Structure 1
Amino acid sequence: MSKTFKVSGIHKQGFCRCGVHFPHEGRIVSEADFKAEDWARLRAEPNLRIELLKETAQDEDAAQDRKARIIDAIKSLDGEAFQADGAPKVGAINAALKLAGADIAKVTADEREEIWADMIATPPPE
């Protein structure tokens, strides 16, 4: 289960880091929303507060919903959206999610790798 955090900008206008605006009121993000090096940047940033939120069954449901949306987006991709190694391109997944109207944080390469590994390890239902 991925951890969930509330990341808040300490200033009234919020703060941007790693391509994301964090309002003063805070933004709820998943550990999977950022690569390890981005988390290091966020944690080192003095203009941000990061609070680990208590995980609940609702968080697990949200994580499963996110994963299902990403899987659906991958299944909707055509051949041009895949890399030479067969994995879907992160940008293509994010574009498909946006086209489908999914209001979720961008998929990271690490998250794509985890989901893709699950997809190719699990045979489709008959």
Structure 2
Amino acid sequence: MEKFINFISDNTEAPFLIDSPSVDVKISGVKYAMEVGLKRRIVYNSIIPESEPKELEAIKEAGVENVIVLAYKGGAITSKDRIKAVMEFLPRVEEAGIVKPIIDTYVFDIPSLSLATKA
């Protein structure tokens, strides 16, 4: 992760996403980005309503402000369900110190595209 963060920071001033299937890898990426002074440029990708408390605690401890909140929750298929899932999750998002949540309504497959745009 450090290699990629260094490459990005050396080649652009733009914000960038820190993403991985592994929470531990994302958190280590966040910690490194903070150490090298890139706090304002990172966007953590992503958390879901079912995210573990340890992930939210690590985000809070690191002081990450920009986080993508994915409107994905098992069984939340309709736009109404996705909105409900995010609305119920927002208090935990705020408790984690996330001041700039970016809501991603997620598209699972082509048939779900219309549901995501409604959410």
Fold-level similarity (TM above 0.5): no
Hey, which of these two has a bigger chunk of helix by percent?
2
Instruction: Give the shorter-chain TM-score range.
Output: under 0.3
Compare CA radii of gyration and give the structure with the larger one: 1
TM-score (structure 2 length as normaliser): 0.28
